Amino acid sequence: MRKLIPFLLTAWPIAEALAQCPFVLNCPQGSPVVCDQSSNESMLWNDAPYTWSTALQTADLYEGAADFALKVRPCPGGGNVSVSYLLLLDLDNDNLRETAVTSDNFPPPGVVYFDNAFNPNYTGGDLLQFDKRNLPDSLKFRFALEITYSWDTLIAHLRMKTGDIFVSPRLPEGRHHLLWRVEQNGVVKYCEHSFRIKDCQPPDIECLTALTLELDASGKQIVSLDEVLLSAEDNLTPSFMLEPSMRKAGDGAGFPLDSAGQRVVSLTYNCAERGEQSVEVWVRDRLANISQCQTLVTVADPSGVCDIPPVLCARTFWGSDMVRPVQYKMLWVDTSQHLVTHILPQNSSSCGVLTFVPPATAFSLVAECDTNPLNGLSTFDLLLISRHILGIQPFTQPWQWLAADANKSGSVTTFDVVELRRLILGIYDKLPNNTSWRFFPADCDFPPNPFATLCLPQYSYNALSILDLPAELPFHAVKTGDVNGSASPDAASAMGLAEARDEPARLVLPDWVLEAGETRDVSIRLSGLHTLSGFQFGLFCAPDAFIVEQVVPGWLTGLDEDAFAQPSPGTLHCSWFSPTPQPVFPDDDVLVLRLTALRTARLSEHITLQKERLSAEAYHAADATRQIELFFEKENTAPEQGDAILLPQPNPTRGGASIGLHLQRPERVYLFLTDAAGQTVFRQEAMLESGAHWLEIPANSLPSEGIYWWRVGFGENYWVGKLVKY
């Protein structure tokens, strides 16, 4: 009994171990990748429509040799060990393993059964020929299981056979699954894992060893992929599907892509890159395998174009015209902390020429022009600025905000309008807090409201070589006060005269003769019937003939003491505008001048219209510009007025409307309004005195949206027109 106890204690671990065997020694963890570098065999795994390669867009799946073997240590002294496998294949690359190959029932040589993985016992499916080589069936590949031993270890191999020879299986590209089953003495063990057959062979490429680029007249030259990539081949990806790209060496990492995520097919070199430069050439196949090579590029300047110094030029914000004359300056602080200003010489295009870089750690480049402040500036600009401030017609371009900022406050306010009108009226010779033109580096990207960002008015650089600067440093120029872009870029000669459009409007004065010492009030009127948004003009009364004692504004809204000025003896400037158009009748006074004659003199001989400094022009309701001419009526004659009618306003309308009328004599006047069907919806008839009148069309007479027709008449005269309700 004493001898039996040690035996039992020794036998117990052995019994426990036997219960756990057989042992699987090498079941893979994770999903191994079978990295293949061989060429594709077109007669294997190419059977449409069952096979499909999403990477290569073809039914011909590339294949790789997959050596999978399971090592098993059987139970000592146990019975037979049974090993089998189930191979699940995804042959159409839809991430669904639809095809099953089981070692319990191998398919015939050269075939598998597509879409049988979900059938009982993996039966059925469509016959798929994975081996189409022109060989007898006995020599075609067929799936097999090979069992070998190494000492006490059983090794089960996933194999194919050709004839009686076991070979490594040629499995198709894609993600597949392998399940091993091991059984001994009723104990079953499993080993399963996914795996991927993947091409890992990078393309074979050849680059040009060296290339010389000669810069063109602009100091630039382009090198393309075709120039430096001599050849590119791949074991699987067709040449037309390979993706080449390139970059300047050191400009990044990984496969080169531009900012839009596209391949780079050309590179541009300039004067700053003269000498030897290295170009990286990359080629990527459809499986993301990458190769690269390099070409040594020598950037040469045989014509000496890079020796041409950089220039500073200014062009208008609203176009491409060169602004001139402009003074270009270079500013820096010397070693004594004094600001140094160097005026750049100019070339034939009026651009500043930078001939050296100052001996300083930093410097700035600026553009300046403060001539002809009235260039492009008129009362029409004040009208547009006022509409912007009121929100009636906001600016649409960033440069308009900058132009309207007359006092350089970083905002657009009524005070800017006041300052610009003082300039127009001659109270100012120039703006006290601004220059005639403002300049900004052209690479500054202004938002719609340019005051929301900071764009400095100069180029600033740290110490560098002059060759490191661009060939041109462009400025954008904006003319202060000119919000409609009418300024001439030739700042030396332009005076901002308006372009003649339509018939001129007449500024009417009586042609009186004043005796020496006589004082009279002289009315200034506009002939005809108008709807105006503004006007401007300048009059000169010879100071040796008349003294302007007083100027009294007429009845127009906004035409007050701020709308006119006498900057010098005998000179009268007037600038009036209204954001909403106003009717002007022929017998309405615009201004009244109280004149005292120093000697007997006729008005027409001593009062003239000034056009040199301030263009005489009127702005009609539709912003049409008409020039103004001066007209003198003969003494003791009635004004030439005549019968006239003013078109309805507003038109289109949301409510009612008004029609202006001027009569030479008393008349019985009628007004008819009909709808589109010809039905009368409103009528009015009244006896009116001579002079100006308004005929009112009430809102309730326009019952619905659409087109209406109006007719106004008296005697044998009548007028018709269209009125739109919206």
Instruction: Say if residue 181's pLDDT is above 70.
Output: yes
- Looking at the structure, do residues 617 and 520 belong to the same domain, yes or no? yes
Instruction: Say if residue 640's pLDDT is above 50.
Output: no
- Among 156, 182, 199, the domain boundary falls at 199
Question: What is the rounded CA–CA span in Å between residue 36 and residue 659?
Answer: 90
Instruction: Say if residue 401's pLDDT is above 60.
Output: yes
The CATH number given to whatever domain includes residue 710 is 2.60.40.2550
SS3 330: strand
Find out whether 191 and 70 touch, Cβ atoms under 8 Å.
yes
Question: What is the rounded CA–CA span in Å between residue 618 and residue 530?
Answer: 10
- Looking at the structure, do residues 22 and 112 belong to the same domain, yes or no? yes
- Looking at the structure, do residues 657 and 530 belong to the same domain, yes or no? no
Domain membership flag for residue 279: yes
Instruction: Say if residue 558's pLDDT is above 50.
Output: yes
Phi first, then psi: what are they for 433, rounded to 5°?
-120, 20
- Looking at the structure, do residues 57 and 114 belong to the same domain, yes or no? yes
Domain membership flag for residue 664: yes
Question: What is the rounded CA–CA span in Å between residue 495 and residue 615?
Answer: 9
- Among 250, 269, 300, the domain boundary falls at 300
Check residue 6 and give its pLDDT: 36
pLDDT in tens, 670-712: 888 888 766 788 988 888 888 778 888 898 888 888 888 788 8
- Looking at the structure, do residues 162 and 46 belong to the same domain, yes or no? yes
Domain membership flag for residue 129: yes
- Looking at the structure, do residues 589 and 618 belong to the same domain, yes or no? yes
- Looking at the structure, do residues 171 and 186 belong to the same domain, yes or no? yes
- Residue 664's domain comprises 644-725
SS3 342: strand
- Among 253, 284, 300, the domain boundary falls at 300
Domain membership flag for residue 318: no
Provide mean pLDDT across the span 176-193: 94
pLDDT in tens, 3-43: 333 333 334 344 455 557 899 999 998 889 999 888 899 99
Domain membership flag for residue 560: yes
Residue scoring higher pLDDT (53 or 321): 53
- Looking at the structure, do residues 46 and 130 belong to the same domain, yes or no? yes
- Looking at the structure, do residues 136 and 175 belong to the same domain, yes or no? yes
Q: Which two tokens stand for residue 664?
A: 């030479």
- Looking at the structure, do residues 287 and 184 belong to the same domain, yes or no? no
Check residue 621 and give its pLDDT: 64
- Looking at the structure, do residues 132 and 224 belong to the same domain, yes or no? no
Instruction: Say if residue 646's pLDDT is above 90.
Output: no
How many domains does the chain fold into?
4
Question: What is the rounded CA–CA span in Å between residue 281 and residue 87?
Answer: 42
Domain membership flag for residue 526: yes
- Looking at the structure, do residues 166 and 212 belong to the same domain, yes or no? no
Check residue 11 and give its pLDDT: 41
The sign of the CA dihedral 262, 263, 265, 270 is positive
Q: Which value, to the nearest 10 degrees, does the dihedral of the CA atoms of residues 478, 480, 486, 491 take?
A: -80
Domain membership flag for residue 669: yes
- β partners of residue 634: 511
Domain membership flag for residue 653: yes
- β partners of residue 644: 662
The separation between CA 603 and the C-alpha centre of its own chain, rounded to angstroms, equals 60
